[in-house]
Protein backbone atom coordinates (compact mmCIF):
# COMPACT_ATOMS: atom_id res chain seq x y z
CA UNK A 1 0.00 0.00 0.00
CA UNK A 2 0.95 3.63 -0.23
CA UNK A 3 0.38 5.82 2.81
CA UNK A 4 -1.95 8.64 1.74
CA UNK A 5 -3.39 9.81 5.07
CA UNK A 6 -2.40 10.14 8.72
CA UNK A 7 -4.89 7.49 9.85
CA UNK A 8 -3.28 4.97 7.49
CA UNK A 9 0.13 5.57 9.03
CA UNK A 10 -1.42 5.21 12.49
CA UNK A 11 -3.09 1.96 11.45
CA UNK A 12 0.18 0.56 10.13
CA UNK A 13 2.00 1.63 13.27
CA UNK A 14 -0.49 -0.20 15.48
CA UNK A 15 -0.40 -3.39 13.40
CA UNK A 16 3.39 -3.24 13.29
CA UNK A 17 3.66 -2.77 17.05
CA UNK A 18 1.52 -5.88 17.52
CA UNK A 19 3.74 -8.13 15.38
CA UNK A 20 6.99 -6.55 16.56
CA UNK A 21 6.29 -6.88 20.26
CA UNK A 22 4.91 -10.39 19.78
CA UNK A 23 8.14 -11.40 18.05
CA UNK A 24 10.22 -9.82 20.79
CA UNK A 25 8.28 -11.54 23.57
CA UNK A 26 8.44 -14.91 21.81
CA UNK A 27 12.21 -14.62 21.55
CA UNK A 28 12.44 -13.79 25.26
CA UNK A 29 10.12 -16.69 26.14
CA UNK A 30 11.85 -19.38 24.04
CA UNK A 31 14.06 -21.79 25.98
CA UNK A 32 15.65 -25.22 25.51
CA UNK A 33 13.20 -28.06 26.19
CA UNK A 34 10.18 -26.05 25.02
CA UNK A 35 8.21 -27.22 21.99
CA UNK A 36 7.55 -24.94 19.06
CA UNK A 37 3.85 -25.60 19.61
CA UNK A 38 4.06 -24.11 23.10
CA UNK A 39 5.99 -21.11 21.80
CA UNK A 40 3.40 -20.55 19.07
CA UNK A 41 0.51 -20.63 21.54
CA UNK A 42 2.34 -18.05 23.65
CA UNK A 43 2.66 -15.82 20.60
CA UNK A 44 -1.00 -16.28 19.73
CA UNK A 45 -2.02 -15.02 23.17
CA UNK A 46 0.09 -11.90 22.75
CA UNK A 47 -1.37 -11.11 19.34
CA UNK A 48 -4.85 -11.62 20.78
CA UNK A 49 -4.14 -9.03 23.48
CA UNK A 50 -3.55 -6.50 20.70
CA UNK A 51 -6.70 -7.63 18.92
CA UNK A 52 -4.57 -8.86 16.00
CA UNK A 53 -5.13 -11.98 13.91
CA UNK A 54 -2.53 -14.32 12.43
CA UNK A 55 -1.83 -13.37 8.82
CA UNK A 56 -0.67 -16.80 7.57
CA UNK A 57 -3.70 -18.41 9.14
CA UNK A 58 -6.08 -15.86 7.60
CA UNK A 59 -4.42 -15.84 4.19
CA UNK A 60 -3.31 -19.42 3.67
CA UNK A 61 -5.01 -21.42 6.46
CA UNK A 62 -1.52 -22.11 7.82
CA UNK A 63 -1.60 -24.71 10.65
CA UNK A 64 -0.20 -22.34 13.26
CA UNK A 65 -0.36 -18.74 14.40
CA UNK A 66 3.29 -17.99 13.62
CA UNK A 67 5.99 -19.69 11.56
CA UNK A 68 8.76 -21.27 13.67
CA UNK A 69 11.65 -22.88 11.80
CA UNK A 70 14.52 -24.81 13.38
CA UNK A 71 18.08 -25.39 12.19
CA UNK A 72 18.03 -26.52 8.52
CA UNK A 73 14.45 -25.29 8.05
CA UNK A 74 14.49 -21.96 6.21
CA UNK A 75 10.93 -20.74 6.64
CA UNK A 76 7.26 -21.68 7.13
CA UNK A 77 8.07 -24.21 9.84
CA UNK A 78 4.86 -25.58 11.37
CA UNK A 79 4.67 -25.20 15.17
CA UNK A 80 4.25 -28.62 16.73
CA UNK A 81 3.98 -30.11 20.21
CA UNK A 82 6.42 -32.82 19.17
CA UNK A 83 9.15 -30.46 17.99
CA UNK A 84 11.42 -29.67 20.94
CA UNK A 85 13.92 -26.82 20.81
CA UNK A 86 17.43 -27.64 22.04
CA UNK A 87 20.36 -25.65 23.40
CA UNK A 88 22.24 -24.01 20.52
CA UNK A 89 19.45 -24.42 17.95
CA UNK A 90 19.14 -21.92 15.13
CA UNK A 91 15.58 -20.66 15.58
CA UNK A 92 13.60 -18.47 13.21
CA UNK A 93 10.32 -16.88 14.20
CA UNK A 94 8.19 -15.04 11.65
CA UNK A 95 5.20 -13.09 12.93
CA UNK A 96 2.70 -11.40 10.62
CA UNK A 97 -0.79 -10.25 11.48
CA UNK A 98 -3.84 -8.18 10.58
CA UNK A 99 -5.20 -5.48 12.87
CA UNK A 100 -8.17 -3.30 11.95
CA UNK A 101 -7.61 -3.83 8.24
CA UNK A 102 -3.85 -3.23 8.30
CA UNK A 103 -1.22 -5.94 7.88
CA UNK A 104 2.39 -6.06 9.02
CA UNK A 105 5.19 -8.62 8.95
CA UNK A 106 8.51 -9.20 10.72
CA UNK A 107 10.87 -12.00 11.64
CA UNK A 108 14.25 -12.92 12.97
CA UNK A 109 16.69 -15.78 13.45
CA UNK A 110 18.61 -16.26 16.68
CA UNK A 111 20.66 -18.85 18.53
CA UNK A 112 18.81 -20.41 21.44
CA UNK A 113 21.04 -20.32 24.50
CA UNK A 114 24.76 -20.97 24.06
CA UNK A 115 26.12 -20.90 20.52
CA UNK A 116 27.54 -24.41 20.65
CA UNK A 117 27.14 -24.98 16.90
CA UNK A 118 28.62 -21.60 15.86
CA UNK A 119 25.55 -20.21 14.08
CA UNK A 120 26.03 -16.70 15.45
CA UNK A 121 28.24 -15.40 12.60
CA UNK A 122 25.50 -16.33 10.13
CA UNK A 123 22.86 -14.61 12.28
CA UNK A 124 25.01 -11.50 12.59
CA UNK A 125 25.62 -11.37 8.84
CA UNK A 126 21.87 -11.54 8.16
CA UNK A 127 21.11 -8.75 10.63
CA UNK A 128 23.87 -6.54 9.23
CA UNK A 129 22.79 -7.10 5.63
CA UNK A 130 19.19 -6.21 6.44
CA UNK A 131 20.27 -3.00 8.16
CA UNK A 132 22.54 -2.05 5.27
CA UNK A 133 19.80 -2.72 2.74
CA UNK A 134 17.09 -0.81 4.59
CA UNK A 135 19.21 2.27 5.06
CA UNK A 136 19.86 2.37 1.33
CA UNK A 137 16.16 2.29 0.46
CA UNK A 138 14.56 5.56 -0.50
CA UNK A 139 12.28 6.99 -3.17
CA UNK A 140 13.32 6.12 -6.76
CA UNK A 141 15.99 3.58 -5.78
CA UNK A 142 15.85 0.47 -8.00
CA UNK A 143 14.64 -2.62 -6.19
CA UNK A 144 17.21 -4.68 -8.11
CA UNK A 145 20.03 -2.45 -6.79
CA UNK A 146 19.06 -3.30 -3.22
CA UNK A 147 19.05 -6.97 -4.18
CA UNK A 148 22.55 -6.62 -5.58
CA UNK A 149 23.67 -4.90 -2.38
CA UNK A 150 22.33 -7.77 -0.29
CA UNK A 151 23.84 -10.53 -2.42
CA UNK A 152 27.24 -8.89 -2.86
CA UNK A 153 27.53 -8.17 0.87
CA UNK A 154 26.63 -11.77 1.64
CA UNK A 155 29.24 -13.07 -0.81
CA UNK A 156 31.98 -10.95 0.78
CA UNK A 157 31.15 -12.64 4.08
CA UNK A 158 31.32 -16.11 2.53
CA UNK A 159 27.57 -16.69 2.22
CA UNK A 160 25.00 -17.10 -0.53
CA UNK A 161 21.37 -15.96 -0.68
CA UNK A 162 18.10 -17.82 -1.25
CA UNK A 163 16.85 -16.60 -4.62
CA UNK A 164 13.23 -17.77 -4.59
CA UNK A 165 12.20 -16.17 -1.29
CA UNK A 166 11.76 -12.42 -1.29
CA UNK A 167 10.45 -9.40 0.51
CA UNK A 168 7.19 -7.84 -0.68
CA UNK A 169 4.74 -5.00 -0.46
CA UNK A 170 2.28 -5.10 2.43
CA UNK A 171 -0.40 -3.01 4.10
CA UNK A 172 -3.96 -3.86 3.12
CA UNK A 173 -3.09 -7.53 2.67
CA UNK A 174 -0.13 -9.75 3.49
CA UNK A 175 1.43 -9.69 0.02
CA UNK A 176 1.07 -6.72 -2.31
CA UNK A 177 3.05 -4.97 -5.04
CA UNK A 178 5.97 -4.84 -5.35
CA UNK A 179 5.74 -8.63 -5.19
CA UNK A 180 9.48 -9.35 -5.36
CA UNK A 181 12.11 -7.57 -3.27
CA UNK A 182 14.79 -10.16 -3.90
CA UNK A 183 18.10 -10.80 -2.15
CA UNK A 184 19.89 -10.59 -5.51
CA UNK A 185 19.86 -8.39 -8.61
CA UNK A 186 16.92 -9.34 -10.82
CA UNK A 187 18.25 -7.85 -14.03
CA UNK A 188 14.87 -7.47 -15.71
CA UNK A 189 13.16 -5.93 -12.69
CA UNK A 190 12.74 -2.24 -13.53
CA UNK A 191 10.62 -1.41 -10.48
CA UNK A 192 11.72 1.29 -8.07
CA UNK A 193 10.86 2.01 -4.48
CA UNK A 194 8.28 4.79 -4.26
CA UNK A 195 7.78 7.34 -1.51
CA UNK A 196 5.13 6.35 1.06
CA UNK A 197 5.08 2.72 -0.09
CA UNK A 198 4.91 0.11 2.68
CA UNK A 199 7.19 -2.88 2.12
CA UNK A 200 8.47 -5.86 4.10
CA UNK A 201 12.20 -6.23 3.47
CA UNK A 202 13.83 -9.51 4.48
CA UNK A 203 17.10 -11.38 4.19
CA UNK A 204 17.64 -15.06 3.47
CA UNK A 205 21.37 -15.55 4.04
CA UNK A 206 22.67 -19.07 3.46
CA UNK A 207 25.74 -21.16 4.18
CA UNK A 208 25.25 -23.44 1.16
CA UNK A 209 21.89 -23.37 -0.65
CA UNK A 210 20.57 -20.87 -3.17
CA UNK A 211 16.99 -22.12 -3.51
CA UNK A 212 14.26 -23.15 -1.06
CA UNK A 213 12.35 -26.38 -1.60
CA UNK A 214 9.24 -27.70 0.18
CA UNK A 215 9.12 -30.72 2.43
CA UNK A 216 6.31 -33.27 2.18
CA UNK A 217 4.17 -31.36 4.69
CA UNK A 218 3.62 -28.77 1.94
CA UNK A 219 4.75 -25.86 4.12
CA UNK A 220 8.24 -26.23 5.56
CA UNK A 221 11.06 -24.95 3.35
CA UNK A 222 14.66 -26.22 3.39
CA UNK A 223 17.69 -25.53 1.21
CA UNK A 224 18.32 -27.33 -2.06
CA UNK A 225 21.97 -27.88 -1.10
CA UNK A 226 21.63 -28.22 2.65
CA UNK A 227 23.30 -25.91 5.11
CA UNK A 228 21.66 -23.23 7.23
CA UNK A 229 19.82 -19.99 6.56
CA UNK A 230 19.24 -16.89 8.71
CA UNK A 231 16.32 -14.55 8.04
CA UNK A 232 15.56 -11.09 9.40
CA UNK A 233 12.68 -8.85 8.37
CA UNK A 234 11.25 -5.41 8.99
CA UNK A 235 8.18 -3.63 7.63
CA UNK A 236 9.07 -0.10 6.56
CA UNK A 237 7.64 3.01 4.91
CA UNK A 238 9.74 4.39 2.05
CA UNK A 239 10.59 8.10 2.25
CA UNK A 240 12.88 10.57 0.44
CA UNK A 241 15.53 9.79 3.04
CA UNK A 242 15.76 7.27 5.91
CA UNK A 243 12.80 4.86 5.88
CA UNK A 244 10.33 4.68 8.74
CA UNK A 245 10.99 1.27 10.30
CA UNK A 246 7.55 0.35 11.59
CA UNK A 247 8.67 -2.85 13.35
CA UNK A 248 11.88 -1.49 14.83
CA UNK A 249 10.72 -2.21 18.39
CA UNK A 250 11.10 -5.97 17.80
CA UNK A 251 14.73 -5.59 18.87
CA UNK A 252 16.29 -7.85 16.24
CA UNK A 253 19.14 -5.38 15.83
CA UNK A 254 19.77 -5.03 19.57
CA UNK A 255 22.70 -7.18 20.67
CA UNK A 256 21.36 -7.53 24.18
CA UNK A 257 18.12 -9.03 22.87
CA UNK A 258 19.71 -11.80 20.79
Residue 202, marked binder: yes
Task: Delimit the domains of the chain by residue range.
Answer: 6-257
55-89 confidence digits (pLDDT tens): 999 999 999 999 999 999 999 999 999 999 999 99
> What is the pLDDT averaged over residues 109-131?
98
32-46 confidence digits (pLDDT tens): 999 999 999 999 999
> What is the pLDDT averaged over residues 213-241?
98
Answer whether residue 256 shows pLDDT above 50.
no
- Do 209 and 100 contact (CB within 8 A), yes or no? no
> What is the pLDDT averaged over residues 129-149?
98
pLDDT confidence of residue 254: 86
- pTM of the entire predicted model: 0.97
Instruction: Look at the domain 6-257 and name its fold.
Output: Creatine Amidinohydrolase (3.90.230)
**Taking CA 38 as the corner, what is the angle to CA 33 and CA 43, rounded to the nearest 5 degrees?**
125
Residue 168, marked binder: yes
- Categorize the per-residue pLDDT at 18 as very low, low, confident or very high, splitting at 50, 70 and 90: very high
Q: Is the peptide bond before 210 cis (omega within 30 degrees of 0)?
A: no
pLDDT confidence of residue 257: 42
> What is the pLDDT averaged over residues 110-118?
98
User: With pLDDT > 70 as the criterion, what percentage of the chain qualifies?
Assistant: 98
Would residue 61 be called left, alpha or beta, if left means φ above 0 and alpha means ψ between -120 and 50 degrees?
left
Q: Positive or negative, the Cα torsion across 230, 69, 12, 175? A: positive
C-alpha span between 241 and 239 (Å, rounded): 5
Residue 233, marked binder: yes
Helix and strand element counts for the chain (H, E):
5, 15
**Mean model confidence pLDDT for the chain:** 97
Residue 89, marked binder: no
Residue 94, marked binder: yes
**Taking CA 69 as the corner, what is the angle to CA 118 and CA 226, rounded to the nearest 5 degrees?**
60
Amino acid sequence: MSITAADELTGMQKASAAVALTLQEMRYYARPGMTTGELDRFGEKILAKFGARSAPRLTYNFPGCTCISLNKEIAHGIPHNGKVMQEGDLVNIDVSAELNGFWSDNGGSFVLGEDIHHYQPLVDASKDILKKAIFHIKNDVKISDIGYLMESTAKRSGYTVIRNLTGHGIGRSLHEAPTSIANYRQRFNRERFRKNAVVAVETFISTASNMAVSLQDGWTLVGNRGGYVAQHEHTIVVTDDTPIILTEMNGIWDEENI
